[in-house]
């Protein structure tokens, strides 16, 4: 572990000897390929489990004069339709509207104004969160990629990571960067024990800087706890990640003809 009081995601995955590409793959290529694969599989999950659901007209759409139930509030509907939890850093990782609509997405980062002036005194306040939201382009009305503040000196701010928690699969991805911003190490893991450790490390940080979010996040993690992966899920992800590996400096994509399964769906 490093000198920081809490371990980073890369330290946790590294100490657990997670799945990782061979040395022939650069950290940047591995990260971009893994994110492209994750986005593709998340969208497939939505298409296969959400868009195919029963869409009969609910009773609250009936004539209110006839005494019909007015139905759930927008917040209740949002919680009911959430298909999973995605925690990322230090920038938003997924920008696909489908993913932002169906998953609860959060971004852990050191806000720009704190990085410049090193003034952490108010970072736990709602006011600070609103500023972070504006820095990251977050619309407080729909609240995708909700901001979570990191302390300015936190080494986690130098890592790109994603924790993805779905009903039937859990995944952690991380790309460690040098002080000059150069990607130096990419890792991923499907291990529920490792993902639980990563969540607990994030949770401790959130308790310090954004404690008002803990109840909601605890409820989401309880709803989508880390789970043991299916063997074919791990194999499918690795195969697709290699096919999606981009040339240096480009974004990765998964060719549609290469997607041969539905590994993020239920067993």
> In DSSP terms, which residues pair with 257 in a beta bridge?
none
CA-to-CA distance for 109 and 178, rounded, in angstroms? 17
Cβ(19)–Cβ(171) under 8 Å? no
Whether the per-residue pLDDT at 187 is higher than 90: the answer is: yes
Q: Please state, in angstroms and rounded to a whole number, the distance separating the CA atoms of residues 77 and 82.
A: 9
Q: Work out the number of other CB atoms within 10 angstroms of the CB of residue 147.
A: 25
Q: With the C-alpha atoms ordered 204, 205, 207, 213, is the resulting torsion angle positive or negative?
A: negative
Contact 171, 198 (CB under 8 A): no
Look at residue 188 and give its three-state secondary structure. strand
Nearest by Cα to 208 from 146, 135, 162, 153: 153
> Is the CB of residue 164 less than 8 Å from the CB of residue 194?
no
**What digits encode the pLDDT tens for the residues 35-76?**
999 999 999 888 887 555 543 333 233 333 444 455 555 544
Nearest to 46 by CA among 89, 81, 74, 77: 81
What are the tens digits of pLDDT across the range 127-164?
A: 344 444 444 444 443 468 899 999 988 999 889 999 99
Contact 90, 157 (CB under 8 A): yes
In the DSSP assignment, the letter for residue 65 is G
Residue where the block lists tokens 């005494």? 67
* Phi-psi category of residue 42: left, alpha or beta, with phi > 0 → left and psi -120 to 50 → alpha: alpha
CA atoms within 13 A on the CB side of 131: 14
- Is 138 strand, coil or helix? coil
pTM of the model: 0.74
Give the integer Cα–Cα distance in Å for 161 and 92. 10
User: Could you read off the pLDDT of 79-112 as tens digits, one per residue?
Assistant: 557 899 999 998 889 988 989 999 999 999 987 6
Distance CA 59, CA 23 (A): 57
Find, among 187, 214, 110, the residue nearest to 153 by Cα: 110
Indicate the domain borders of the chain: 75-180+187-246
CA pseudo-torsion sign 217, 82, 188, 182: negative
Tell me what the pLDDT averaged over the chain comes to.
75
């Amino acid at each position: 572990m490093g000198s920081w009081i809490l371990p980073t995601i890369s330290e946790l995955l590294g100490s657990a000897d997670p799945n990782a590409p061979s040395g022939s793959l650069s950290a940047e290529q591995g990260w971009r390929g893994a994110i492209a694969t994750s986005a593709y599989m998340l969208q497939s999950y939505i298409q296969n489990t959400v868009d195919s659901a029963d869409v009969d007209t609910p009773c609250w759409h009936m004539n209110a004069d006839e005494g019909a139930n007015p139905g759930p509030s927008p917040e209740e509907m949002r919680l009911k339709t959430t298909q999973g939890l995605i925690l990322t850093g230090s920038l938003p990782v997924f920008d696909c509207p489908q993913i932002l609509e169906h998953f609860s997405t959060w971004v852990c980062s050191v806000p720009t104004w704190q990085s410049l002036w090193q003034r952490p005194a108010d970072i736990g306040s709602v006011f600070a969160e609103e500023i972070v939201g504006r820095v990251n382009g977050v619309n407080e009305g729909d609240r995708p990629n909700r901001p979570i503040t990191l302390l300015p000196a936190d080494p986690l701010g130098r890592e790109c990571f994603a924790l993805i928690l779905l009903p039937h699969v859990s995944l952690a991805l991380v790309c460690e960067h040098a002080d000059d911003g150069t990607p130096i190490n990419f890792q991923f893991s499907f291990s529920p024990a490792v993902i639980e450790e990563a969540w607990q490390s994030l949770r401790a940080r959130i308790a310090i800087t954004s404690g008002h979010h803990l109840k909601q996040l605890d409820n989401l993690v309880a709803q989508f706890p880390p789970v043991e992966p299916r063997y074919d899920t791990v194999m499918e992800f690795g195969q697709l990640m290699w096919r999606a590996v981009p040339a240096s400096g480009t974004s990765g994509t998964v060719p549609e003809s290469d997607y041969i399964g539905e590994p993020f769906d239920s067993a």
